[in-house]
Amino acid sequence: MKILVTGGAGFIGSHLLQLLQGQQGVEVVVYDNLSSGRREHVPKGIRLVEGDVRDAEGLAHLFASEGFDSVVHLAAQTMVPYSLSHPEEDCQINLLGLINILECCRKYAVKHIVFSSSAAVYGDNLNIPLHEEEKPMPTSAYGITKMASEHYLRMYHDLYGLNTTVLRFANVYGERQGAGGEGGVVSIFCKLLAAGQGVTVFGNGEQTRDFVYAGDIAEALWRGSQLEGHHVINISTQKETSVNQLLAAFKQAVGREFPVQYAPIREGDIFRSVLANGRCVELLGFCPAMNLQEGVARTYADYLQKIGDK
Ligand SMILES: NC(=O)c1ccc[n+]([C@@H]2O[C@H](COP(=O)([O-])OP(=O)(O)OC[C@H]3O[C@@H](n4cnc5c(N)ncnc54)[C@H](O)[C@@H]3O)[C@@H](O)[C@H]2O)c1
């Protein structure tokens, strides 16, 4: 089986490539413009093609010459604030880029695509834990392009028979995450704490998130690439973790106390966020299970090691 991973040089991509490397009979090609991804995230033995998902011609050439069986589409502009200041660029990369990929899937007989969607499609909905049937009501340009992308995927399934799996990730964290992007609080804390600084929490720290480990996301992407039909599935722990609980996990990982400053809450921040994961268990046969303490410890250790290597 030959798989194309767009955005494979990024944070989540790097975890997926590690997993795919160990699969028998799977050939992987990465397509990435390295805007936020890194060449060193692509292991030896996996081919990296440098290119942009906005380049329809370049993609057509790649699909025609490679003959992919399936695609995992991770390439994206991932920063919510940037999507608000640059809505046109967000749409070009995240929506038009996806359409370029879907058109190639249709023309070059690809059987399956997995799409990385986001909890951002739900917007600020307090009917938690949020199930997939909730009405999407995104509050950012990023969430809107993810939601529109989901509709395109369903349409390509209905009209052209492409198998389409939409995975809505909660707040992903883990080794190799950049300090920008979505759900970056863990990597931001890692960066500050590794530099011996304290951290700032916006609000009283009781706001919650559903922190899911990137290795579990990789497992979901791999399992999702084997589903037939069209599916929309949350990938989450279904556990609400407050920022104060996250800080406690960091205190253990770092092994010392550190200063925490509480600042006024930021406008537009969602107070509680947790996604139901019953459909993930039912359709993908697994439950994202990385324990937060262990996940934070691994992420912090990786950060320290990188600083040591510099
Ligand atoms: N990290 C999270 O918490 C989270 C949550 C929900 C959804 N997602 C989604 O998961 C996917 C992967 O996110 P990530 O956290 O690994 O981000 P990332 O920024 O580390 O990875 C994105 C990758 O896409 C590449 N890329 C960006 N624009 C491109 C373009 N125009 N053409 C080709 N490649 C391009 C980047 O170089 C990078 O390697 C994204 O679609 C993101 O929206 C992430």
Domains of the chain: 2-172+212-237+280-284 (3.40.50.720), 176-209+240-275+290-309 (3.90.25.10)
Dist. CA 229–CA 216, nearest whole Å: 22
Burial of 4 (0-12, 13-18, 19+ CB in 10 A): buried
Q: Is 12 in the pocket of ligand 1 (CB under 6 A)?
A: yes
Q: Ligand 1 centroid to 259 CA: how many Å?
A: 32
pLDDT tens-digit series, residues 244-284 = 999 999 999 999 999 999 999 887 778 899 999 999 999 99
Would you place residue 180 in the very low, low, confident or very high pLDDT band (cuts 50, 70, 90)?
low
Give the pLDDT of residue 209.
Answer: 95
Site to substitute for ligand 1 among 30, 53, 55, 78, most atoms within 8 A of C-beta: 78
Residue of 278, 289, 167 whose CA lies nearest to 220: 167
* Structure-model confidence comparison of residues 308 and 96, the more confident one: 96
How far CA 107 is from CA of 2, 5, 70, 138, 162, in Å, comes to 16, 18, 13, 31, 11
Q: Ligand 1 centroid to 35 CA: how many Å?
A: 10
Q: Is 115 in the pocket of ligand 1 (CB under 6 A)?
A: no
Give the pLDDT of residue 310.
Answer: 67
Q: What is the average pLDDT across 129-152?
A: 97
Give the pLDDT of residue 181.
Answer: 53
Q: Is 234 in the pocket of ligand 1 (CB under 6 A)?
A: no
Would you place residue 152 in the very low, low, confident or very high pLDDT band (cuts 50, 70, 90)?
very high
Can 142 be counted among the known catalytic residues? yes
Yes or no: say if 272 and 207 are a contact pair by the CB < 8 Å rule.
Answer: yes
Site to substitute for ligand 1 among 6, 12, 41, most atoms within 8 A of C-beta: 12
pLDDT tens-digit series, residues 195-206 = 999 999 999 999
Query: What residue type is assigned to position 203 of the chain?
Result: G
SS3 216: helix
Q: Is 183 in the pocket of ligand 1 (CB under 6 A)?
A: yes
pLDDT tens-digit series, residues 44-100 = 999 999 999 999 999 999 999 999 999 999 999 999 999 999 999 999 999 999 999
Give Cα 268 to chain centroid, integer Å: 21
Contacts of 291 (CB under 8 A, 6+ apart): none
User: What region, left, alpha or beta, does residue 109 occupy, with left being phi > 0 and alpha being psi -120 to 50 degrees?
Assistant: left
Q: Is 172 in the pocket of ligand 1 (CB under 6 A)?
A: yes
Own/partner long-range contacts of 260-263 (Cβ < 8 Å, ≥24 apart) = 260/198, 260/199, 260/200, 260/201, 260/205, 261/198, 261/199, 261/200, 261/201, 262/200, 262/201, 262/203, 262/204, 262/205, 263/200, 263/201, 263/202
Whole-prediction pTM value? 0.97
How far CA 75 is from CA of 178, 189, 222, 225, in Å, comes to 14, 25, 16, 16
* Among 142, 173, 300, 303, the one annotated catalytic: 142
